[in-house]
């Protein structure tokens, strides 16, 4: 009886979970420099691996708005988020003895403001990296392929006569009195 309860509590085995991955949204925060785009990466809380801000879809928000909110919470940045997905990658999330397959759809987020204080500052590191450095930090080949696509999209001039769709703005918390306003410091990562 105890074994059946433990099996029920753990949920389905990874093979069943792979059939229906849990959807998530993620942001690829970037800014353009004279040398090309640079990308903001954060570490995961549990393993310290470098990745892009991501999380579950939020009720009442579009996937790209959820991605922008994750960028604010995990990386402390606000900006203009694209409503067009860059692509989707799958990964396995491990929590205790449970494994779950997730499908993360990424959206480009042009950073307009970088905060000195944010929700998960004490739990993560953040780092600006050019394409080569970001690819070296990423441990996932599928995620690297999406980053290469992002870099190519950002380097390409917009087609004449085609206007980009109006992007959604990420909404951040207002700073309280005494909190410093975030400033982009080129190359500092802060």
Region 48-73 average pLDDT: 95
pTM of this structure = 0.74
Return the pLDDT at 175. 38
53 contacts 124 by C-beta, under 8 angstroms: no
Is residue 161 one of the residues assigned to a domain? Answer: no
The strand pairing partners of 87, in sequence order, are 106
Q: What is the mean pLDDT of residues 78-83?
A: 96
Give the model's pLDDT for residue 128: 97
Judge whether 68 lies within some domain: yes
Total structural domains within the chain: 1
Range scoring the smallest mean pLDDT among 15-29, 43-57, 74-88? 15-29
- Pairwise CA distance, residues 44 & 126, whole Å: 10
* Integer Cα distance of 88 and 45 in angstroms: 22
- Residue 152 within a domain: yes
Lowest mean pLDDT among 8-12, 55-59, 100-104: 8-12
Going by their DSSP bridges, the two strands 87-95 and 77-81 should be labelled as unpaired
**DSSP H/E element including 81:** strand 77-81
Q: Which residues pair with 90 in a beta bridge?
A: 103
Give the pLDDT band of residue 46 (cuts 50, 70, 90): confident
What CATH number corresponds to the domain at position 126? 3.90.79.10
pLDDT reported for residue 161: 44
**Residue 24 burial by CB count (10 A; 0-12/13-18/19+): exposed, middle or buried?**
buried
Average pLDDT of the residues in 6-21: 63
- Token reading at 107: 């959206």
- Judge whether 118 lies within some domain: yes
Q: What is the CA radius of gyration of the chain?
A: 18
Q: Predicted confidence band at 134 (pLDDT cuts at 50, 70, 90)?
A: very high
**Structural domain span for residue 73:** 25-90+106-156
Quick check: is 149 in a domain? yes
Cα 64 from chain centre: 10
The answer to whether position 169 is within a domain reads: no
Query: What is the Cα–Cα distance from 119 to 14, expressed in whole angstroms?
Result: 31
- Mean pLDDT over 1-17 rounds to 63
User: What is the rounded CA–CA span in Å between residue 132 and residue 37?
Assistant: 11
Per-residue model confidence (pLDDT) at position 183? 33
Going by pLDDT thresholds of 50, 70 and 90, the confidence category of residue 179 is very low
pLDDT-based confidence at 98, cuts 50/70/90? confident
Whether 140 is covered by a domain: the verdict is: yes
Cβ contacts of 123 within 8 Å, gap of 6 or more: 45
> Is 85 inside a domain boundary?
yes
């Amino acid at each position: 009886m105890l074994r059946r309860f433990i099996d029920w509590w753990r949920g389905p085995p990874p093979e069943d979970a792979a059939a229906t991955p849990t959807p998530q949204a993620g942001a690829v925060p970037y800014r353009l420099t004279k040398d090309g785009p640079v990308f903001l990466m954060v570490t995961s809380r549990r393993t310290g691996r470098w990745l892009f801000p991501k999380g579950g879809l939020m009720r009442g928000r579009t996937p790209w708005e959820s991605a922008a909110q994750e960028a604010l919470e995990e990386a402390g940045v606000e900006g203009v988020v694209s409503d067009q997905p860059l692509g989707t990658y799958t990964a396995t999330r491990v929590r205790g003895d449970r494994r779950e397959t997730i499908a993360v759809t990424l959206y480009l987020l042009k950073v307009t403001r970088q905060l000195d204080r944010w929700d998960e500052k004490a739990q993560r590191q953040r780092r600006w990296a050019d394409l080569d450095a970001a690819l070296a930090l990423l441990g996932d080949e599928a995620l690297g392929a999406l980053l290469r696509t992002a870099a190519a999209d950002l380097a390409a001039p917009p087609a004449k006569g085609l206007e980009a769709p109006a992007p959604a703005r990420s909404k951040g918390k207002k700073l309280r009195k005494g909190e410093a306003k975030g400033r982009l410091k080129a190359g500092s990562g802060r």
